[in-house]
Amino acid sequence: MGRADCSCSSGGEYRQAAYEQVIVFLLDRPHAVAQPTEEQVSSLNNLAVRYDPCMIAASYKPKKKFMQLAIAEAKRARDRGDYAIGAVVTRVTDGREVVIASAGNRVKTSGSSIKHVELETLKYVSSGYGRYLTEFVLYTTHEPCAMCAGACVWARIGAVVYGVSQEDIATYGRKRGTEEYKWRACLIPCQLVFEKGNHAIPVIGGFLRDECKKLFGYRAR
């Protein structure tokens, strides 16, 4: 599980102000060698890590009902001829957690190899709630690939919960993948992407893993 250091303070506003001051400084003197103060440089160095603190506690406990909804979405995706992968995005506010969006994969049915359900769900939620999703949790039946994990970093998602890992996907693909359903994997752990992106959030892997593994062999009725 990832560790979240997410204490909120007015420091973020101060760091943003320092950032804007440096930008203005550069714009005002386009032909000069800009020399920001040590305080401004320090503020800029800390900006990426601390400016937009996450709002999901490190002690966050995932809920079975949300992953079960993702599993149901995955089955619906397979029923219509796609990979059995599903995702749910919840919002945590005032001690309550509610579903904001849920969907199944559309890579095959859309004809786009990058239309991963995690990415599409994040885009949908961001369109209604803004670019930063610090109080939202992504549940997904399969560990986010590097592309989707990167989207989580840029969207500043508050937490990620997944069922089977990229290693699980690769193992199944090698043994039982078909020409139609290859089950390719990107063997870069999402936790590594988050760490390299300075995005310290709760990450819970292997949640309802056995139920999610059954999706590999699920067949449309």
pLDDT digits (tens, 9 = 90+) for 16-66: 444 344 333 333 444 444 555 666 555 545 544 444 455 799 999 999 999
Judge whether 38 counts as a catalytic residue.
Answer: no
Going by pLDDT thresholds of 50, 70 and 90, the confidence category of residue 89 is very high
Higher pLDDT, 169 or 7: 169
Q: How does strand 96-104 pair with strand 136-142?
A: unpaired
In this predicted model, what pLDDT tens digit does every residue of 157-206 receive, in sequence order? Answer: 999 999 999 999 999 888 876 776 778 888 999 999 999 999 999 999 99
Pairwise CA distance, residues 204 & 185, whole Å = 19
- Which residues, 6 or more positions from 199, have their beta carbon under 8 angstroms from its beta carbon? 54, 152, 153, 156
CA distance linking residue 90 with residue 64, whole number of Å: 13
pLDDT at 48: 41
pLDDT at 184: 82
Cα separations in angstroms, 102 against 31, 33, 165: 51, 50, 20
Phi, psi of 91 (to 5 degrees): -125, 130
The residue from 97, 118, 120, 143 that is catalytic is 118
Residue 208 pLDDT greater than 50, yes or no: yes
Work out the average pLDDT over 126-152: 97
Average pLDDT over residues 66-80: 97
| pLDDT confidence tier of residue 130, bands split at 50, 70 and 90 | very high
